[in-house]
Amino acid sequence: MPKILVARPIFPDVIERLKQYFDVDWNQGDVLAADELKRRLADKDGALTAGEPIDAGVLAAAPRLRVVSNMAVGYNNFDMAAFNAANVLGTNTPDVLNESTADFGWALMMAAARRIAESEHWLRAGKWQKWSYDGFLGSDLYGSTLGVIGMGRIGQALARRAKGFNMQVIYHNRSRVAPEIEAELNAEYASKQDLLRRADHVVLVVPYSKESHHTIGAAEFALMKPTATLTNIARGGIVDDAALVEALRSKQIAAAGLDVFEGEPHLNPDLLSVPNVVLTPHIASATEATRRAMANLAADNLIAGLGVGPRAGQPPNPINPDVIGKARS
């Protein structure tokens, strides 16, 4: 029976599914340290991860490892060059979290625009003594301009929601989406600089890579309206968090909402000292239905990738399908 490592606590019923096919080593505690991860992968044929870094060193220490299934859409924790060199299959879990993540992005954007977290903290501190005409004035979403950077599945889901708010949608992407999608979403393609100048609310939904590192930094904040908001539901590192702190403190932009951070779960401590930012702990996909769907899809990928189950050899979401069927090298 193939051996697998489940590197994080997940739903017990998903573990029971996996036990039908595998000898399961399930980590139910804290995130595994790098050395412990290597040790526990040494005799494994597969792994189910949720952000653990898997690079050439890890693969070299696990000569039997053939499939690593990431319980996430993003896979910047995988060194795909090393995966390809070793003929190790990587998989991810796209699509099942699109709507939940878009819902959360919308909620985070609204919270930032309407100063919900800031005003709640003020109320909880006992500072509310009277109504005031200028108390916590925010900015409207209805009738404003939404700028989406990254018009993939989640970006398109956000753009669909903008219709109900009568928003103008502009977007920037590595390449333009198909004309029929632009027409369906009533979305206009723009350069990044033009989008930043025009948008009232900017939402980031781009995958992380070396090329997208600090997509938004000091130069970009200088282009934005002083009334604008920024929402990041993509990945930490897309935004230069230190530059964001300065932009918020100086009121270069009005507010921000962040679900992801550079170096998370650690974050720039200065973010805690600025009132006009909403901070959440990477929970954009955190509904029970969505997280269950992600866990089960990750299990499906691992089961099929290791050549067992009803879809043996045909995992639903291969990242590097060219290695399927090749011997581990």
Say if residue 44 is in the same domain as residue 115: no
How many C-beta neighbours within 10 Å does residue 95 have?
A: 13
Q: pTM for the full model?
A: 0.93
Say if residue 25 is in the same domain as residue 172: no
Q: Write out the residue range of the structural domain in which residue 87 sits.
A: 3-96+288-323
Answer yes or no: 264 catalytic.
yes
Structure tokens given for 185: 């979403």
Which DSSP string corresponds to 110-143?
HHHHTTHHHHHHHHHTT---S--TTTT-----TT
Output the average pLDDT for the chain: 97
The gap from C-alpha 286 to its chain's centroid, in whole angstroms, comes to 11
Say if residue 299 is in the same domain as residue 309: yes
Alpha helices in 144-273 (DSSP H): 153-163, 179-185, 192-198, 218-223, 241-249
- pLDDT (tens digit per residue) in 80-93: 999 999 999 999 99
Say if residue 175 is in the same domain as residue 90: no
Instruction: Please report, rounded to a whole number, the percentage of residues in the chain having pLDDT higher than 90.
Output: 97
Say if residue 189 is in the same domain as residue 45: no
Q: What is the pLDDT of residue 329?
A: 83
Q: Which of 201, 235, 262, 291 is catalytic?
A: 235
CA 184 to CA 53: how far, in whole Å?
A: 38
Tell me the C-alpha to C-alpha distance, in Å, between residue 309 and each of 70, 148, 294, 304, 305: 19, 40, 18, 6, 9
> pLDDT band at residue 119, thresholds of 50, 70 and 90?
very high
Q: What is the pLDDT of residue 241?
A: 98
CB 71 within 8 A of CB 10: yes
- pLDDT (tens digit per residue) in 121-172: 999 999 999 999 999 999 999 999 999 999 999 999 999 999 999 999 999 9
Q: Would you give the end-to-end CA distance of the chain in angstroms? A: 21
Say if residue 59 is in the same domain as residue 92: yes
Q: What is the pLDDT of residue 222?
A: 98
pLDDT score of 190 more than 90: yes
> pLDDT band at residue 3, thresholds of 50, 70 and 90?
very high
Say if residue 166 is in the same domain as residue 300: no
Q: Which of 184, 188, 246, 264 is catalytic?
A: 264
Q: Which of 282, 292, 311, 328 is catalytic?
A: 282
Q: What is the pLDDT of residue 39?
A: 97
Say if residue 140 is in the same domain as residue 274: yes
What is the tally of structural domains in the chain?
2
Answer yes or no: 235 catalytic.
yes
CB 111 within 8 A of CB 137: no
157: exposed, middle or buried (Cβ count in 10 Å: 0-12, 13-18, 19+): buried
Answer yes or no: 172 catalytic.
no
Say which CATH number the domain at 33 has. 3.40.50.720
SS3 327: coil
Torsion angles phi and psi, residue 180, rounded to 5:
-70, -30
Say if residue 102 is in the same domain as residue 212: yes
- pLDDT (tens digit per residue) in 206-237: 999 889 999 999 999 999 999 999 999 999 99
Q: What is the pLDDT of residue 7?
A: 98
